[in-house]
Amino acid sequence: MTLPAPPEQTLREPLDRPVEPPSRRIARIAGIFMVITFISIPALPLYDQVLNHTNFIVGGGAGDWRVYLGALFEILTLIGGIGMAVTLFPVLRRQSEGLALGYVTVRVVESCLIAVGIVSLLAVVTLRQDLAGGAGTDNASLILTGRALVAVHDATFLLGPAFCAAIGNGLILGYLMFRSGLVPRRFAQFGMLGGSLALVTALLVLFGAYDQTSGASFVLTLPEAVWELSLGIYLIAKGFKPSPILYDAGARAGVDGPLMPMLAAADAAVPLVAAP
């Protein structure tokens, strides 16, 4: 017959185990999602034939798998973008619910634009497989349709990863991190600077100053990319810095309670006075 453990031992064992605060877990998950978004970097080289070779849609041979692989990388990127925004929302809303909701909205819009770009390139591959080399196919019309679909992808690439990333990850997220003190303030200021530069280069590309894949665009976008990757690594390795919004019970903000357990534990330790 197995005897149950004494009540005091049963209560003591869970308290002796180190408990990870919810804020640490949230920071790690958000950082992982942010790093995942960088998996789309190989997509551009994989898309080279469909984007830059006019006759790709009427040609035969290999090359379709490269588009499929690039599409897979971009799908993982849009999942990572939405995942990070949703993960950070319970924390960021403690600083500003309006900006936190705006950040989630921008990331969702960015992911939707990326999805439209993926669909446009997959449509090029489908037309290539179904119509290229077929009897009665008008190659000129097929090429025109293919370039139109590529133009849709180029527009989504500008409006999504360029504009939305600059506004969302750079300006909004950088400002929220700066105001809340969840990361070092100089680091957050660098993020806002990177977002500003990325927004400027996106505007210049929009008005035809240079191409989005040019050297000037790369230089002005690089600080934003460094901010995003560094933030992801920082959140995974260190988590959030101590901040009042993590300890706030959040009654006025409509949140559930503190994300750091110290205040909750202190409140629980206060003896209750029996009612007369």
- Sequence ranges of the domains in the chain: 19-269
Q: Is the pLDDT of residue 71 over 50?
A: yes
SS (H, E, C) 10-70: HHHHHHHCCCCCHHHHHHHHHHHHHHHHHHHCCHHHHCHHHHHCHHHHHCCCCCHHHHHHH
Say how many Å lie between the first and final Cα of the chain, rounded. 44
179-235 residue pLDDT tens: 999 999 999 999 999 999 999 999 999 999 989 889 999 999 999 999 999 999 999
Q: Which two tokens stand for residue 75?
A: 């799908």
> How many angstroms separate the CA atoms of 195 and 162, rounded?
10
111-168 residue pLDDT tens: 999 999 999 999 999 998 887 766 667 888 889 999 999 999 999 999 999 999 999 9
Q: Is the pLDDT of residue 5 over 60?
A: no
> How many angstroms separate the CA atoms of 97 and 113, rounded?
24
DSSP-assigned letter for residue 258: -
What pLDDT is stored for residue 265 in this prediction? 40
Between 107 and 254, name the one with better pLDDT.
107
Q: Is the pLDDT of residue 54 over 90?
A: no
> How many angstroms separate the CA atoms of 87 and 138, rounded?
49
* Nearest residue to 95 (alpha-carbon basis) of 240, 197, 238, 236: 240
Q: Which two tokens stand for residue 152?
A: 């849709």
Q: Which two tokens stand for residue 142?
A: 């097929």
- H-helix or E-strand containing 7? helix 7-16
Q: Is the pLDDT of residue 13 over 80?
A: no
Residues 6+ positions from 253 with CB-CB distance below 8 Å: 93, 94, 97
> How many angstroms separate the CA atoms of 2 and 15, rounded?
24
